């Protein structure tokens, strides 16, 4: 409203001034006609000229105000998504938001939205968000800022004046959303949502920190029975020391790489290694990913961490020219461009051709066009792409073809069930058939015993990974030389009786 007044008041003043000038000019014209004195006519002519000049300046001023207003409207419209009404996430970067004016910040996650899109299409998802916008706008009486934070997450900036108790309000909101029938043509759908809220805004340093802890609450909501969680300072007391410790370790590059072999069972040799990570804490203890990933996700530390892992892996590839490595990244890393920029800096084809990027299939790709663009660049410079945990999420098979992926890593939870559950066997077989048709290689994870290995071998699975072939280990120089040299070049004098014995002799299963 304030911005509108800044345009409207000058416009009205100039308009009134223009009308006065128009009236003055018409009076001068009439006066000139009624006067016969030549000297007086000359003075009136000068006055008319001045009025015309003032009128021209007024018209130009009005045009400038109109053009500025048009630009303001255009920029304002750019802040909104065309199809849904939500503000884009860029709104948070471009606007100075005063936390003192906010009651709380709410984050909403829509469960299984990717499954909805893959089943019913993008138009249905856009319609869901359009209806959801109307629900939220009505619920907060048009006063809250409603932001599409990511593909399936909404951020709500609630202004001061919300008198209702927060958890009571959130329960009503969750109930309103989940009881609503989202309609598209003849289709009716219901949604499940998780809601996290941060009311401790006075104790936050800035908006970024406030949003970060809102998502801490959202993560807690996903684990709770109610699907709702409120962030309190007791949460911050638990999270903040961990963040400080992790930030210090990442900045000091206290990151340890671990390597787990991926085996080509047809050639009975190590094909490449998957890079796994640990962070060395302040007391020298190694912190595994299960302890730190949830803490740093959603913060700038997450990108910094993944970038440093990539740098360390590249050092390793340069040191050992016969080794190939595979590194995990999230879609956020790819979409944000950090990985593409780092790969551009590497600019070493001999290194990049031995590097595979594993993208988690279970995480939503909220900006597919940007994701596809950066994947195309990464492929262009020689890297390979693998989809990790395939089968656990809801992959769009069309996207797999468009992205030209090289590998599908079948989710370990499916592989582990292959002995007991015939459905797991059918699913792996179906994925293998699709991959063969599409020219994509399949890797099976969590191969932990001889029985699973035998079943997968019958399905003609070429690449396998798991404790059967080796646990993640640090590989100092002597060990890596052993791995790529003597360990696999030394052959027993007699022949192995079968493939399994040959693999044992080559160092697997020990």
- Are 103 and 199 in contact, with CB atoms under 8 Å apart? yes
**Does 482 have pLDDT greater than 80?**
no
pLDDT at 432: 94
The enclosing H or E element of 29 equals: helix 2-34
Give the whole-angstrom CA distance, residue 317 versus residue 480.
Answer: 12
Q: What is the mean pLDDT of residues 159-174?
A: 78
Domain ranges of the chain: 2-78, 87-231, 241-500
255-264 and 182-184: which strand pairing? unpaired
355 burial via Cβ count (<10 Å: 0-12, 13-18, 19+): buried
Q: What is the mean pLDDT of residues 56-73?
A: 80
pLDDT at 112: 79
- Are 269 and 488 in contact, with CB atoms under 8 Å apart? yes
Q: Match domain 87-231 to its CATH number in 1.10.357.10, 3.40.640.10, 3.30.70.270, 3.60.15.10.
A: 3.30.70.270
What share of the chain in percent tops pLDDT 70? 83
Q: How confident is the model at residue 78 (pLDDT cuts 50, 70, 90)?
A: low
* Sequence-separated (6 or more) residues with CB below 8 Å from residue 62: 11, 14, 15, 18
**Does 182 have pLDDT greater than 90?**
yes
Q: How confident is the model at residue 225 (pLDDT cuts 50, 70, 90)?
A: confident
198 burial via Cβ count (<10 Å: 0-12, 13-18, 19+): buried
Give the whole-angstrom CA distance, residue 116 versus residue 123.
Answer: 11
Q: Tell me the CATH architecture of domain 241-500.
A: Alpha-Beta Barrel (3.20)
* CA 258-408-335 angle, 5° bins: 75
Sheet holding 228-231, edge to edge: 87-88, 145-150, 153-159, 102-110, 193-198, 228-231
70 burial via Cβ count (<10 Å: 0-12, 13-18, 19+): exposed
**Does 244 have pLDDT greater than 80?**
no
Q: How confident is the model at residue 290 (pLDDT cuts 50, 70, 90)?
A: confident
pLDDT in tens, 319-372: 888 889 999 998 878 887 888 889 988 889 999 999 999 997 655 666 778 888
**Eight-state DSSP code of residue 449:** S
CA-nearest of 447, 436, 379, 368 to 414 is 447
For residue 507, the cross-strand partners are none
**Does 439 have pLDDT greater than 90?**
yes
* Alpha helices by DSSP H, 35-105: 38-78, 91-94
Radius of gyration of the chain (CA): 32
Query: pLDDT: is 399 or 452 the higher one?
Result: 452
Give the whole-angstrom CA distance, residue 464 versus residue 453.
Answer: 8
pLDDT at 74: 63
What share of the chain in percent tops pLDDT 90? 28
Q: What is the DSSP string of 158-190?
A: EETT--S-HHHHHHHHHHHHHH--EEETTEEE-
pLDDT in tens, 394-430: 456 777 888 889 999 998 889 999 988 899 999 999 9
**Does 502 have pLDDT greater than 60?**
no
Give the whole-angstrom CA distance, residue 128 versus residue 184.
Answer: 8
76 burial via Cβ count (<10 Å: 0-12, 13-18, 19+): exposed
């Amino acid at each position: 409203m304030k911005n509108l007044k800044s345009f409207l008041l000058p416009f009205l003043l100039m308009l009134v001034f223009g009308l006065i000038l128009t009236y003055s000019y018409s009076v001068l014209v009439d006066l000139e006609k009624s006067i016969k004195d030549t000297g007086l006519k000359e003075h009136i002519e000068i006055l008319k000229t001045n009025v015309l000049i003032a009128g021209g300046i007024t018209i130009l001023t009005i045009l400038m105000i109109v053009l500025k207003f048009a630009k303001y409207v255009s920029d304002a419209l750019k802040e909104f998504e065309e199809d849904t009404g939500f503000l884009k996430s860029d709104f948070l970067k471009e606007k100075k938001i005063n936390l003192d004016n906010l009651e709380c910040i709410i984050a909403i996650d829509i469960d299984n939205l990717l499954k909805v899109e893959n089943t019913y299409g993008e138009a249905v998802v856009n319609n869901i968000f359009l209806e959801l916008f109307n629900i939220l706008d009505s619920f907060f009486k048009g006063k809250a800022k409603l932001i599409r934070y990511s593909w399936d997450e909404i951020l709500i900036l609630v202004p001061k004046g919300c008198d209702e108790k927060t958890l009571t309000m959130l329960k009503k909101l969750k109930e309103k959303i989940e009881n609503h029938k989202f309609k598209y043509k003849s289709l009716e759908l219901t949604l499940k949502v998780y809601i996290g809220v941060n009311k401790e805004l006075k104790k936050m340093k800035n908006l970024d920190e406030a949003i970060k802890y809102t998502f801490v609450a959202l993560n807690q909501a996903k684990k709770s029975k109610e699907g709702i969680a409120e962030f309190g300072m007791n949460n911050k007391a638990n999270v903040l020391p961990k963040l400080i410790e992790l930030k210090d370790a990442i900045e000091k590059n206290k990151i340890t790489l671990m390597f787990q072999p991926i085996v080509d069972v047809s050639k009975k040799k190590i094909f490449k290694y998957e890079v796994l990570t640990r962070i060395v804490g302040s007391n020298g203890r190694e912190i595994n990913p299960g302890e730190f990933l949830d803490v740093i996700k959603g913060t700038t530390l997450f990108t910094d961490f993944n970038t440093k892992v990539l740098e360390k892996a590249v050092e390793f590839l340069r040191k050992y020219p016969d080794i190939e490595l595979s590194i995990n990244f999230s879609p956020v890393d790819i979409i944000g461009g950090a990985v593409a920029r780092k790969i551009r800096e590497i600019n070493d084809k001999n290194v990049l051709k031995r590097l595979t990027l594993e993208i988690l299939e279970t995480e939503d790709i909220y900006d597919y066009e940007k994701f596809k663009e950066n994947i195309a660049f990464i492929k262009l410079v020689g890297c390979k792409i693998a989809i990790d945990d395939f089968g656990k999420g809801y992959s769009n098979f069309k996207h797999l073809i468009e992205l030209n992926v090289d590998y599908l890593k079948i989710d370990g939870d499916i592989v582990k069930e292959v002995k007991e559950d015939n459905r797991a066997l059918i699913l792996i077989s179906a994925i293998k058939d699709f991959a063969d048709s599409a020219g994509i290689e399949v890797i099976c994870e969590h191969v932990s015993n001889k029985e699973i290995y035998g079943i997968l071998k019958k399905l003609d699975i070429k690449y396998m990974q798991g404790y059967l072939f080796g646990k993640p280990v640090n590989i100092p120089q002597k060990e890596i030389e052993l791995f790529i040299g003597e360990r696999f070049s030394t052959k027993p004098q007699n022949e192995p009786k079968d493939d399994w014995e040959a693999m044992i002799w080559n160092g697997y299963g020990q």
